[in-house]
């Protein structure tokens, strides 16, 4: 079945319930031109894209980066919505992380995007955690200025590696702008029950990353290739009335991102149908 939008034919179109909006994380397309990457996602059928500042054409330090007006117009033309803007920066120095996060929140504000996502840093000392808390507190002040949410993603191998650490961070910062980007693969790895973890966070979840995991090994797989119970996970998201994007997060795919984006869409749509 084909659909014609603004004079352009899209080869695939399927109606997805509003609570099952599918997005893709742009970091997998770092070696592709931004225009080509966004066109590919739209043509596959994705409804959203997480705009990652790790892509060279969105890098705030790149003088030739896309402007927010150009990006906004292009996304509108191809029928793709920005689900979030992000910069993880796990290995970045604090000044670089700060500069990119602020620039990312400015971009989100200009695009009308209500969520900015950041990862934690690598580290394990109390001083590292204290510095992380101070950094997040500062970022939440900027988020308040721009009227957006600052969502931190718990990730194994970083300071905020699980739900317990995220809870400590939330209590230490105590800002209504601090939210959660829940990566269900990470949650499966670190928590006793993925379903209960989703219920625990509830309305604090403003964005998600979706992949499968096998053997508690931190390697992102296509949905259905691992051990996650997607039907139960979706039931939990329904219970908390989550209506945001389900954004597929696959890395180490830079050689064939088009293939994995297509496979990811088909695999997640198959899990949705179950």
87-119 tens-digit pLDDT: 998 889 999 999 999 999 999 999 999 999 999
Measured between alpha carbons, how far is residue 77 from residues 35, 74, 163, 194, 245 in Å?
12, 5, 39, 37, 20
Q: Can you give the pLDDT at residue 122?
A: 87
Whether 104 maps to a domain, the answer reads: yes
Has residue 10 got a pLDDT over 50?
A: no
Q: Choose among 207, 176, 184: nearest CA to 86.
A: 207
Do the Cβ atoms of 132 and 119 come closer than 8 Å? no
Whether 3 maps to a domain, the answer reads: no
Q: Can you give the pLDDT at residue 3?
A: 43
Whether 201 maps to a domain, the answer reads: yes
Tell me whether residue 63 is exposed, middle or buried, using C-beta atoms within 10 angstroms of its C-beta: 0 to 12, 13 to 18, 19 or more.
exposed
Do the Cβ atoms of 24 and 41 come closer than 8 Å? yes
Rounded CA-CA distance 126/130 in Å is: 6
The rounded percent of the chain whose pLDDT value lies above 90 is 87
Has residue 11 got a pLDDT over 50?
A: no
Whether 23 maps to a domain, the answer reads: yes
Q: Which residues contact 105 (CB under 8 A, 6 or more apart)?
A: 85, 116, 139, 142, 143, 146, 148, 150
Q: What DSSP assignment string belongs to 43-77?
A: HHT-SEEEEETTSGGG-TT-TTPPPHHHHHHHHHH
Whether 4 maps to a domain, the answer reads: no
Q: Can you give the pLDDT at residue 19?
A: 60
Whether 208 maps to a domain, the answer reads: yes
Whether 2 maps to a domain, the answer reads: no
Question: If you average pLDDT over residues 258-263, what whole number do you get?
Answer: 98
The angle that helices 94-111 and 126-146 make with each other, rounded to 10 degrees, is 20
Provide the CATH number for the domain around residue 28: 3.20.20.150
Has residue 55 got a pLDDT over 70?
A: yes
Whether 212 maps to a domain, the answer reads: yes
Has residue 252 got a pLDDT over 70?
A: yes
DSSP β-ladder status, 115-119 and 48-52: unpaired
The rounded percent of the chain whose pLDDT value lies above 70 is 93
Q: Can you give the pLDDT at residue 8?
A: 42
Has residue 273 got a pLDDT over 60?
A: yes
Residue 56 or residue 2, greater confidence: 56
Q: Where are the alpha helices (DSSP H) in 89-174?
A: 94-111, 126-146, 163-173
Q: Which domain holds residue 68?
A: 18-273
Chain centre to alpha carbon of residue 51: 8
Q: Can you give the pLDDT at residue 18?
A: 42
Do the Cβ atoms of 257 and 29 come closer than 8 Å? yes
Indicate the number of domains in the chain. 1
Measured between alpha carbons, how far is residue 229 from residues 148, 188, 200, 234 in Å?
31, 10, 17, 9
pLDDT band of residue 42 (cuts 50, 70, 90) is very high
Has residue 5 got a pLDDT over 90?
A: no
Query: Could you tell me the two tokens for 137?
Result: 């507190």
Question: What is the rounded average pLDDT for all residues in the chain?
Answer: 92
């Amino acid at each position: 079945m084909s659909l014609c939008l603004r004079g352009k034919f899209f080869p695939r179109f399927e109606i997805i319930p509003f609570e099952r909006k599918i997005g893709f994380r742009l970091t997998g397309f770092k070696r592709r031109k931004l225009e080509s990457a966004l066109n590919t996602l739209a043509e596959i059928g994705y409804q959203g894209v997480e705009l990652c500042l790790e892509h060279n054409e969105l890098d705030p330090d790149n003088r030739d980066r896309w402007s927010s007006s150009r990006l906004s117009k292009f996304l509108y033309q191809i029928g793709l919505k920005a689900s979030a803007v992000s910069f993880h920066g796990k290995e970045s120095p604090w000044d670089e992380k700060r500069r990119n996060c602020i620039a990312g929140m400015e971009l989100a504000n200009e695009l009308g995007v209500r969520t900015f996502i950041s990862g934690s840093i690598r580290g394990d000392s109390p001083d590292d955690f204290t510095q992380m808390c101070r950094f997040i507190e500062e970022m939440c002040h900027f988020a308040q200025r721009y009227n957006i949410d600052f969502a931190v993603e718990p990730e194994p191998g970083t300071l905020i590696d699980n739900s317990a650490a995220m809870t400590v961070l939330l209590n230490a910062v105590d800002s209504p702008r601090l939210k959660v980007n829940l990566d269900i693969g990470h949650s499966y790895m670190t928590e006793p029950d993925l379903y209960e973890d989703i219920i625990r966070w509830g309305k604090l979840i403003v964005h998600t990353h979706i992949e499968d995991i096998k053997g508690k090994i931190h390697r992102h797989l296509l949905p259905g290739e691992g051990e996650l119970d997607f039907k139960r996970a979706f039931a939990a998201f329904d219970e908390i009335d989550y209506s945001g994007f389900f954004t597929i997060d696959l890395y180490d795919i830079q050689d064939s991102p088009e293939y994995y984006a297509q496979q990811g869409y088909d695999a997640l749509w198959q899990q949705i149908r179950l």
